Amino acid sequence: MTLFPAGTVVGTSIGVYEHVGVMTDSGTIISASKRRGCVAEESPEEFSDGRPIYAKGYPGDLPADEIVRRAREMIGKRYDVVFNNCEHVVRHAHGVTRRSPQVRAVGAFAAVALALIGTLTFSRRA
């Protein structure tokens, strides 16, 4: 039994960020796991560490079996927060542009913070 249909992007909240993965037809979830250091297929309990799991949707047009196949071909690839995180894996599996909105948001926040620090530092010198 699966929580959601195969191919569905599922998520769980972990502090200030969201961990996402692809639901399989066997009830497991494939994601880039920071804990494991690679893309892995895990039970829902392992994926969420006991937190609630919710459906995020189905961002592409590929059939479920193709999405699961594409996700499984990523298993074992090294986890990288910037270039191969959980968002990259689900987007690759769905055949849509690989990107990570959470990484982009952190980058934008860091750029604004640095600009603000630079402005404050400059204004104190003047």
**pLDDT grade for 61, boundaries at 50, 70 and 90:** very high
Please write the tens of the pLDDT for every residue from 65-80.
999 999 999 999 999 8
Residue 121 maps to a domain: no
pLDDT confidence of residue 1: 58
Of residues 54 and 3, which shows the higher confidence score? Answer: 54
From CA 115, how far away is CA 106, in angstroms rounded?
14
Q: Do the beta carbons of residue 62 and residue 105 sit within 8 Å?
A: no
Please write the tens of the pLDDT for every residue from 93-118.
999 865 454 444 444 444 444 455 55
The answer to whether the predicted template modeling score (pTM) of the entire model surpasses 0.95 is no
Please write the tens of the pLDDT for every residue from 8-25.
999 999 888 899 999 999
- Mean pLDDT, to the nearest integer, of 41-65? 95
Average pLDDT, the chain: 83
pLDDT confidence of residue 105: 40
Domain span holding position 58: 9-99
**Residue corresponding to tokens 């639901």:** 23
Residue 58 maps to a domain: yes
Residue 57 maps to a domain: yes
- The amino acid that residue 72 corresponds to is R
Residue 60 maps to a domain: yes
**pLDDT grade for 59, boundaries at 50, 70 and 90:** confident
Handedness of CA 76, 29, 12, 44 (dihedral sign): negative
Q: Across the strands, what pairs with 14? A: 17
The count of domains in the chain is 1
CATH number assigned to the domain comprising residue 23: 3.90.1720.10
Residue 123 maps to a domain: no
Residue 115 maps to a domain: no
Residue 94 maps to a domain: yes
Residue 109 maps to a domain: no
